[in-house]
A = this chain, B = another copy of it.
Amino acid sequence: MEPAYRRIAAVYRDKIASGELAPGVRLPTEHEIAEEFGVVRQTVRSGLGVLVSEGLIVARRPYGYFVREWERMLYRPQEKSRPMPSRSTMDRFSQQISDEGRVPSMHIEVALVQAAPDLAERLRVETGATVVIRRRVRFINGEPVNINDSHFPLDLVKDSEIMSPAYIPRGTDEVLADLGHRQERAVDEIFVRMPTPDEIRRLGLGPGTPVALHYDTGYTADDRPVQCTVNVLPGDRHRIVFERRWRADEPLS
C-alpha cells in the first residue's frame, strides 16, 4: 500500500487539478488533515511538502497552506522586432506594465566581465574575453519579475551610453544601431531548468519554481552577433508567446 504521506499528496493534488480547490484558497489545517487521514501531523507535513516542492501550494506561516496563485505576464520576444513608437519615454516592459495600471521599476548595473563559454559562443568571442554586461532586474509593484542580462563585445560599445548604469528609454538596440550595428535578425533559444541559488535570491523564488532561460542573440545584416541577452524568467510569472504565419511569403504579424 502507498505510504500515507503520498496518499495525502495525491488527494490534494487531485483537488487542485480538478479546481475543487481554487488558486488562493486555504487548505484545511495540518491538524484537520491529520484527523481525516488518521495520521500524525509530521506525516501531513511530509505530504504537503511534496506539493510545495511541486509548486502547487505555498506555506504561509502562521496562516497555513494555500493553493498557489499564478500571475503570468505576457512575454513576447517578437515585440522586440517591432519599431518603438518614436515618442516613447518608456521601454516596452514599462509601457506594458503601466498600461495595466501597475508600477514598473528596474535595477540596472553595468560591469565588465569575462565571457563564460555560453556567451563566448553566441557572441563569437574567445572564452574569457572581456564583455560589457548590463544586468537588469525588473520589478512590478516592487516585486522582482525577471532578470535581463545583456552582453556586448567591449569594442562595440565602449564610450557609448551602454556603459552607463542609467535607463535608456529608446533601448540598447537603438544605441547599437546608432553605432553602426543595426540588428536585422535574432535567434531566441529557450532552456528550462531549476534556478541557481543566486537566481532564487535575486528573484525571491519559492520552492518548486523552475525558470526558463531565454537567450536572445541579435545579428547585423552581415551576420555579426552584436548582443546577447540572457533573460531569466520564473515559471510562475511568465507566459511566453510567439506567433507564426503558415505561408513563407507572408510577413510575421
Contact = CB atoms under 8 A, between A and B. Distances in A.
Contact of A242 (B188, B193, B250): B188
Nearest to A235: B192
Interface stretch (A87-95, A129-137, A155-163, A207-215): A207-215
B192 A233 contact: yes
Highest count of chain B CB atoms <10 Å: which of A81, A244, A247: A244
A239 interface: yes
A193 B82 CA distance: 29
Contacts of A239: 189-191
Q: How many copies does the complex hold?
A: 2
A54 interface: yes
A221 to B, nearest CB: 9
A243 interface: yes
A241 interface: yes
Interface residues of A, number: 53
Given A187-B241, A191-B240, A192-B234, 6 more contacts: A10-B197, A13-B196, A80-B244, A192-B210, A193-B210, A250-B251
22 contacts: A10-B197, A13-B196, A53-B53, A53-B194, A77-B244, A80-B244, A81-B245, A81-B246, A81-B248, A82-B248, A185-B245, A186-B243, A187-B243, A190-B212, A190-B241, A192-B233, A194-B210, A210-B235, A245-B252, A249-B251, A251-B251, A252-B252
What are the 9 tightest A-B residue pairs by CB atom distance, in nearest-first order?
A210-B210, A192-B235, A190-B240, A188-B242, A252-B252, A184-B246, A186-B244, A192-B212, A54-B194
